[in-house]
A and B are shown apart, each in its own frame.
Chain A
Amino acid sequence: MTDSMIILLAGIFLPLFPMSMVFNAIIEKIKYVWVRAVLFVVWPLCGLLIVFNSNVVIPGWLLPLALATSALYALRMLSLRGVDQWCGFLATSLWSLLWLAVMQDATAVLLNSYALSMSVPLVLLVLLSAGLEQRFGAAYTGLYGGLGRAIPRFAGILVTVVVAAIATPLFPTFFIMLDMVVETVSATPLTAMVLLLIWLLWSWAGARLIQGLIVGRASDVKIADMGNTTTSLFSLALLALIVAGVYLGGVIL
């Protein structure tokens, strides 16, 4: 297989526009939540597997394409209302940045941990999205709102998961982004600035998602909140993410 073919194939899993559309099309079609969750974990790992097993030489033009893909999806996230779609777009925006780490000659172990750290909050969000569908019939922002008062426990977990997904300290993605900025700022300051702009767009999109779901008056219809066990499991997962973040930060910075 030629290098271009390998990059084309890897570009589906470590998203490069327009191959990035494949993942989002598949996510839209899959209705089973657990399959969707597994896909969020496996997809970037497949991309990394292809890259590491092929010894392909990464061409220079790939860096701007990866950045452009990430920026494009970050920008497109601003106008999304579907929570699953939001997860898919954020995943695309995050995973395309893995190309930067690949080009910086990061080890396979480190890159796999990057990919997992990026995916885990999204998996949690996919599960929460299923919870919303179960309660309201759909997981859309601005459709019902008021979750902050109606189901406060669910809302608290949802907000924290979104915050984790958009690279907020002390979650792993924050340290990954910081590392990428540190690695690029001296050699290619423009890349570092684009990375920061993408990061800013994630924050904006995250705030819009939170506001579309949490804010507003609660409906009069009684909705079941998250159970104790589920809340504890989600809390433990988030705590584990923070611990992983602090550990990863210590390793890479």
Chain B
Amino acid sequence: MERLIIVIAVLPLVSALLIQLFAGRIGRDIARVSVAFTTLSFLLSSLLLWWALIGYGPQTLSLGYAGTIVLFDPLSTLLAAIILGISLIVHLYSVRYMAEEAAYGQFFVLLDLMTAALLFMVIAGDLITLVIAWYLVGVLLYFLLGQDTRSQTAYRFAFWTLITYRIGDLPLILAAALLYNAYDTWSLATIFAEIMADPYAHEVMGLPLTEVVAALIGFAAFARSAQFLLHTWLPYTMDGPTPVSALMHAGIVNAGGFLINRFAPVFIHSGGVLNWIFVVGLITAVFGSLLMLTQNDIKKALGYSTMGQMGFMIMECGIGAFSLAIYHMFAHGVFKGTMFLSAGSVINNARQDDGIPKDELYTFAVEKQPNKARQPWLLMAAITLAVPLVILVFAHLLVAENYYQKQGAIVLLFFGWVTGAQLIFATYRMRSQNVWRLVGLSVLSLVVVVLGYVFISHAFDLFLYPDPAFRAQLYSAATIDLLPFEVLVVITTLIIVSGWVVTYYMEQSDYSRRQRTKRLWLNFYALISREFYISDIYTRLARTLLAISGRLNVWLRWL
């Protein structure tokens, strides 16, 4: 029965082949073939997920050629179901959305191939299949983004994606080669078993192999998930068809989180690599969110929003909350996919009716009509700090009493507290006519989010990593010494609180004082609006390399 996991990955390939062969004869009906195969594959994946949920597996299944192995385990079944769910929605959406496209059949072939590549990536039980699938996802995405061959812009940014993904392929290939040389097998299960038995048996250039491999895997994940400095392709790839954007933002870009989860046994023995992953994720989350807020182009704002979310996802891996990253991947996929796919309807509806409700909430949130009397600042500050903390502590106590022994949980709590406090703080600053109502709404939404997040992530934890000792090892691998940890917590708290105080002070200060800082803010805004010049630097570097190439050709007389 577990062999069905091979069938679900092969079905999209069969669909692609049939479409390629019979596109000329059955015309536009080819979309139905594609949708039918994807639906069948999705139903089978749901069945497999159910089996995994009731306790079947994990199992490794050999395909009988060149050591090709697939995995039937919680991670592969869950992600296969998610990928096929999103792919099915994208397929259904594309049937009409792409109907006017000249290369209608080609689009479905590419979509099916992409679905197959993603499925092989998540079920791969050997390093070669994983590397092949990982590589092909980048190549197929390039052609999907460049579906409209008339658009130079689409191809330009599709190329950015391709080259970043290829840069990300290199460390994965290196990691695979190192692991093969050390353990003389491509099988992930065997490699992981040997690592668990003796983690530090091998070294590379004087460093433990596990640390080097973890760093390389982390780097591959960064490129795929648009982490800071490897992110520039993401906000610009909006010229591709909307269904491709949905698939990309909902599924493909999340692959970094998957890869880190797949190599979890390596990361347990990775020294400080998880801490670096946390730092990169944190920087990405901050920069992504910052750049999202300052965009005047809604599509680029969505791109940077995804970048910020990917930062959070990688950050979660960095604190040892691996399963939380998978939940984040799933939640973000559904949310962002919905946003992209409903964009057309929203624009269409807005043309007929602006849809703006003339109620109190709108006048408060958008028109910002100030309230004459404000609540005491100290009272609001106390609520701001206390309410989110109470909710978070309560929620985590329900899940596990010893939660606070894990640094990862504390980081998450801290993040949740700051976010919740920020929300209530912003509510106060907005000067609602009915502050209490807004505070109530904010608290309610925070309760829903936190409880949902905590309980669902805990369920994911139990499903993906049922062994409590393994879960503890994951958190332990992300732990840093207590003193630096506490110092960091204090410093971060001070920075955030002083930020709030400065904001409050600015609010209270008079006009002339604000003028003095205006230039500073303008310069800062200019820097952000140019996206920290990162794309410009890369463009300059690429042009320099092309110029060197051209110069060399002239010198060597094109021979």
Which A residues are closer than 8 A to B by beta carbons? 21, 24-25, 28, 72, 75-80, 85, 146, 148-149, 152, 155-156, 159, 163, 168-170, 174, 178, 181-182, 185-186, 189, 192-193, 196-197, 199-200, 203-204, 207, 211, 214-218, 246, 249-250, 253
23 sample A-B contacts, Cβ–Cβ < 8 Å, listed by A number: A77-B549, A146-B150, A148-B103, A148-B149, A152-B103, A168-B139, A169-B131, A169-B136, A174-B135, A178-B128, A178-B131, A182-B180, A185-B178, A196-B174, A200-B163, A200-B166, A203-B163, A207-B142, A207-B163, A211-B155, A218-B150, A246-B66, A249-B66
Residue numbers in B under 8 Å from A76 (CB-CB): 549, 552-553, 556
- Is B66 in contact with A185, judged by CB distance below 8 angstroms? no
Report whether B173 and A178 are in contact in the complex, using a CB–CB cutoff of 8 Å.
yes
How far apart are the CA atoms of A168 and B133 in the complex, in Å? 11
B558 (CB) vs chain A CBs: closest residue: A85
Within the complex, the shortest CB–CB distance from B112 to chain A, in Å, comes to: 16
Q: Contacts A182-B180, A189-B205 known; A250 to B546 CB distance under 8 Å?
A: no
Q: How far is the CB of B41 from chain A (nearest CB, A)?
A: 21
Report whether A28 and B559 are in contact in the complex, using a CB–CB cutoff of 8 Å: yes
Further pairs besides A79-B550, A186-B181, A204-B163: 20, Cβ < 8 Å: A21-B559, A75-B548, A77-B549, A148-B149, A152-B102, A168-B135, A169-B131, A178-B131, A181-B174, A186-B178, A199-B170, A200-B163, A200-B167, A203-B162, A207-B162, A211-B156, A214-B149, A215-B150, A218-B150, A249-B66
Docked complex: B149-203 residues within 8 A CB-CB of A? 149-152, 155-156, 159, 162-163, 166-167, 170, 173-174, 177-178, 180-182, 186
Per-position 1/0 for B531-559, Cβ under 8 A of A: 00000000000000110111011001011
* B449–chain A nearest beta-carbon distance, Å: 41
Chain B residues touching A, range: 35 or more
Nearest chain B residue, comparing its CB with the CB of A175? B128
A203 CB contacts on chain B under 8 angstroms: 162-163, 166
Q: Are B174 and A186 in contact (CB under 8 A)?
A: no
Q: In the bound complex, how far is the Cα of B128 from the Cα of A102, in angstroms?
A: 24
A148 to B162, CA, bound (A): 19
* Residues of the A chain whose Cβ atoms lie less than 8 Å from the Cβ of B146: 215
Taking the closest CB of chain A, its distance from the CB of B212, in whole angstroms, is 10
Across the interface, A21 reaches (CB within 8 A) one of B128, B142, B556, namely B556
**Secondary structure type dominating chain A contacts:** helix
A217 to B153, CA, bound (A): 12
A72 to B553, CA, bound (A): 10
* B65 lies within 8 A of chain A by Cβ: yes
How many angstroms between the C-alpha atoms of A215 and B145 in the bound complex? 12
B128 A253 Cβ-Cβ under 8 A: yes
Say yes or no for B53: interface residue by CB 8 A criterion: no
Closest approach, in angstroms, between the C-beta of A23 and any C-beta of chain B? 9
Kindly state the separation between the CA atoms of A80 and B548 in the bound complex, as whole angstroms.
12
Does B33 sit at the interface, judged by CB under 8 A?
no
| Contact call A196/B170, Cβ cutoff below 8 A | yes
**Which of chain B's residues have a CB closer than 8 A to the CB of A170?**
132
A250 close to B550 (CB less than 8 A): no
Query: When the two chains form their complex, are residues B545 and A78 in contact, meaning their CB atoms are under 8 A apart?
Result: yes
Task: Report the Cα distance A67→B535, complex, angstroms.
Answer: 30
Q: List 6 A-B pairs, minimum CB-CB distance, nearest first.
A: A148-B149, A250-B66, A79-B550, A79-B549, A21-B559, A169-B132
Min Cβ gap B35→A in Å is 23
Any A CB within 8 A of the CB of B527 = no
Across the two chains, which residue of chain B brings its CB closest to A180? B177
A223 to chain B, nearest CB (A): 15
Contact A186 B204 (CB under 8 A): yes
Q: Does B106 have its Cβ within 8 Å of any Cβ on chain A?
A: yes
A21 to chain B, nearest CB (A): 4
Residues of A within 8 A of B131 (CB): 169, 178
List of B residues within 8 angstroms of A72 by Cβ: 552
Query: Which residues of the other chain, B, contact A196 by a CB distance below 8 angstroms?
Result: 170, 173-174
Interface centre among B131, B162, B170, B545 (most CB of A within 10 A): B170
Asked whether, in the complex, the Cβ of B106 is within 8 Å of the Cβ of A156, the reply is yes
Query: Residue among A72, A196, A200 with the most chain B CB within 10 A?
Result: A196
Chain B residues with CB under 8 Å of A24's CB are: 558-559
| B residues less than 8 Å from A192 (CB atoms) | 174, 177
Residues of chain A lying within 8 A (CB to CB) of residue B150: 146, 148-149, 215-218
Cβ A249 vs Cβ B163 within 8 A = no
Per a CB cutoff under 8 Å, which of B132, B177, B545, B558 touches A182? B177
A169 pairs with B556, CB closer than 8 A: no
Expressed in whole angstroms, the Cα–Cα distance for A178 and B173 within the complex equals 8
C-alpha gap A208/B249 in the complex (Å): 25
